[in-house]
């Protein structure tokens, strides 16, 4: 039986690439706006409100708000929360780590990224986890070349995480992005049979967003809200994410911020 190859969207015209970059650059701008507010004493609800107002004031659309019923503009995942944390009225405090995940729609095109912030003085274990996750994202981004299999990304991330004693979350992954929020190809952060077949040809736009845990890789969704994902063993989790465009010359990161940590940064 012949296996049907999936149709992976590719964006190759100057207009398409310009729109992709505009969406990603606004998203990065939004992250930089939020950056100084991610501190002890600020609630994640306040961060959400700031992001919501800023996005609307610039004429754009919060992509997460109402997505499959999600109730807020951004996701804020604190400590053992892996992803999809719903903003609330609990203030951030010294020692917390919090992932801020933002996605916006600009003229019908999506930009998506996240960062894990350390609040005040965190433990050495938390700092090492954040650093390793940050480095793993860039290793994954740089691992794949034009036309190469998606699995190179997961192989690089899993190898680096294992080498440093961390587990890679398996239930959640990166994804194609462009004129849709989530599209092919899926970008798992460990090698899979499908990721060995899917190729990142020039024009493919996707996210790389590894989630690393100090403990095991298994997670559990909160039954009360249906969104919040925690580590099963309640160990700390960290995540970083960029939107990436594969070009003829290799991967180009579209969501680089002006004020945030750049590739090679040491926290």
Q: Which residue has the tokens 């503009």?
A: 73
Token pair of 174 as six digits? 């990166």
Q: Where are the extended beta strands (E) located within 66-172?
A: 75-78, 81-83, 97-106, 109-118, 148-149, 167-168
> What DSSP letter does each residue of 189-211 carry, written as one string?
SS--HHHHH-EE-TT-EEEE--E
Calculate Rg over the CA atoms of the chain: 17
- Give, in order, the Cα–Cα distances in Å from 209 to each of 47, 109, 157, 241: 21, 19, 10, 4
Rounded to a whole number of angstroms, the distance between the first and last alpha carbons of the chain is: 51
Is 94 annotated to bind ligand?
no
Is 60 annotated to bind ligand?
no
Cα separation, 176 vs 203, whole angstroms: 11
Is 58 annotated to bind ligand?
no
Per-residue DSSP letter, 94: T
H-helix or E-strand containing 229? strand 229-231
Is 37 annotated to bind ligand?
no
Cα separation, 141 vs 167, whole angstroms: 19
Q: Bridge partners of 174?
A: 187
Task: Report the interhelical angle of 124-143 vs 151-163 (nearest 10°).
Answer: 150
Is 241 annotated to bind ligand?
yes
Q: Bridge partners of 229?
A: 83, 221
- Which amino acids are annotated as binding site, given as ranges? 84, 101, 112, 175, 182, 209, 241
- Which amino acids are annotated as binding site for a divalent metal cation, given as ranges? 101, 112, 175, 209, 241
- Which amino acids are annotated as binding site for substrate, given as ranges? 84, 182
């Amino acid at each position: 039986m012949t296996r049907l190859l999936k149709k992976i969207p590719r964006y190759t015209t100057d207009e398409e690439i310009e729109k992709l970059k505009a969406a990603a650059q606004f998203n990065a701008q939004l992250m930089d706006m939020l950056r100084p507010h991610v501190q002890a004493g600020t609630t994640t609800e306040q961060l959400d409100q700031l992001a919501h107002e800023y996005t609307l004031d610039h004429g754009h659309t919060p992509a997460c708000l109402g997505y499959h019923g999600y109730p807020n503009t951004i996701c804020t995942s604190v400590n053992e929360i892996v992803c999809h944390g719903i903003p609330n009225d609990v203030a951030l405090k010294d020692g917390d780590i919090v992932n801020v995940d933002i996605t916006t729609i600009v003229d019908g095109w999506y930009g998506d990224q996240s960062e894990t912030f350390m609040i005040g003085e965190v433990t050495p274990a938390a700092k090492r986890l954040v650093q390793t996750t940050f480095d793993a994202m860039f290793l994954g981004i740089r691992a794949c070349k034009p036309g190469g299999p998606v699995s190179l990304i997961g192989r690089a991330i899993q190898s680096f995480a294992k080498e440093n004693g961390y587990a890679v979350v398996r239930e959640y992954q990166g994804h194609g992005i462009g004129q849709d929020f989530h599209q092919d190809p899926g970008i798992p952060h460990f090698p899979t049979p499908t990721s060995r077949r899917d190729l990142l040809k020039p024009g493919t736009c996707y996210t790389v967003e590894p989630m690393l845990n100090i403990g095991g890789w298994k997670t559990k969704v909160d039954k009360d809200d249906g969104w919040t994902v925690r580590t099963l063993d309640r160990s700390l989790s960290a995540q970083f994410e960029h939107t990436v465009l594969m070009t003829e010359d290799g991967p180009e990161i579209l969501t680089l911020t002006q004020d945030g940590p750049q590739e090679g940064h040491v926290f």
